[in-house]
Amino acid sequence: MEFLIFLVIVVAVVAGVFWAKKYFRNEIDRAKRINRANKNQ
């Protein structure tokens, strides 16, 4: 039973990471561009 709970938690975390990457991709790309611009100054 503990293993089943652990498995459900792992699946939820993985799904959350994929959702966050999809949802926040534009924000992450913008942050990377800003960081690159700041390094080049």
Q: Phi and psi dihedrals of 11, rounded to 5?
A: -60, -40
30 within domain boundaries:
yes
Domain span including residue 34: 15-41
In a domain, 7, yes or no: no
Q: What global pTM score does this model have? A: 0.53
In a domain, 9, yes or no: no
Determine the pLDDT at residue 15.
95
Over residues 1-41, the pLDDT tens digits come to 899 999 999 999 999 999 988 888 888 889 899 999 998 77
pLDDT number for residue 1: 87
Question: CA–CA separation, 9 vs 34, rounded Å?
Answer: 35
Amino acid identity of residue 15, one-letter, is A
28: which residues sit within 8 A by CB, 6+ positions away?
21
What's the number of domains the chain is made of? 1
